[in-house]
Structure 1
């Protein structure tokens, strides 16, 4: 790919930005972008962490929402997806060697891009796998991140033929026998809006699909056994009481109640053990809250705006 960011007719690149690559752990090229607010005085910076298989382009609408409220947005594509370096010769396989590589890339991003080139204070807004990385790294982020808002945090895996325990056992065994680069399923073809489990909004679903259609190098297929092993291990670790007790960053947990990917019960259980966390449920919403229908997405955005000082409700009612 020659250009850092890509537009489609109904998804133009937001104005007032800079983008490029930084070097992640092991020399992997990580694509990033920073979007400035037009406000005279910035109210801080959102560090936006995507879910598995997502790209910067998918968040252009959400980025505009934040910058319109006086916040800068800094974001990047995780290694192995989007416009960042891929891990395997079959670039469609979603792979990571170690979950700690994601954490190392986040640390590099904060040090190389966010701290020198954006505006204080810093807040994390994360979705799904990005929220899992944030939870895992949070005990070390207290001095840098003021607050976190985590949408549909990936703290359990539902909607599979096998149980999470069985998937963990198989993924661990495959990795042990040097088969960590294998996938359990074939890469899916493009799915129609009808019957999708991600969003009730046809326009946003088709917009996101059009990005992958126009720029297939940004798309990603099935996760590998190693990715499952590492990610499920991280889920087990962050769900323990002793880990959650170490997190002191005020955190908003947004739970879409009709999410078939991350079970509602798992997020509720996490919230009960998480002293720094506050739970808000978005009744009827599916997994991708930032691509959901307006009636759900607006609730999620309003909750974030009230929680993060400096946006619409500077002294919001959701003080943690």
Structure 2
């Protein structure tokens, strides 16, 4: 205890500086998560006082809610496909662009980051996959003689999920990409010279033994961003294929959460959905962190 108080006194200025952030984080992030977990064991319709129901919401979620199981499957597909692909793509693009001249690097960074901050990003894809002859994809395929009539890309369950994944991948080259660029720029150049002296003979060895270990914090940050975005897909699906989508073909856990939380106002059940999503994100992040610790070994 004495050691604790000595450290607290020694770093008191640092603790004072982080106190505002800690208060905001506790009130607006940590506390809502705890309250949501508590509500997940209740029946709460926003009008009456929450009523304790135990595990009833979770039983209903996994045993009686067929739409949730569809949403769970779609979300896992999103996470398994878009998460790793976008993560690897972000790093590879950052690695290649980092080798360019400063001017070209700045321009390319802006081009890659722009889609993630563009407010009208979905309009481009809606025009491309429009279900009439004016849609770019339909027009191209009909002119080539591949199809005879327009395909309803954004209404046909066979294509909806794949299109949403493509758009999500396009939008994902944002914050993670910037983090990797920053990490590559911050690497100590003397490490590469020392690597040559220690037997590093090509760029791939340099990447594995020097670049990746030196970027572990950025790799972890990028992984958290990509995992969160892949599990929290909702806006892309709702903007492109509607809410709910045809036969729930592009329904995700977050859209299911929005359905019960903002439309039906079954807050206890919505909290159970949110808790499941939170646990999935946390467990996936822990697995990825464990894997990243092996980089460079």
TM-score normalized by the length of structure 2 = 0.22
Bigger-Rg structure (1/2): 2
Structure (1 or 2) with the greater helix fraction:
2
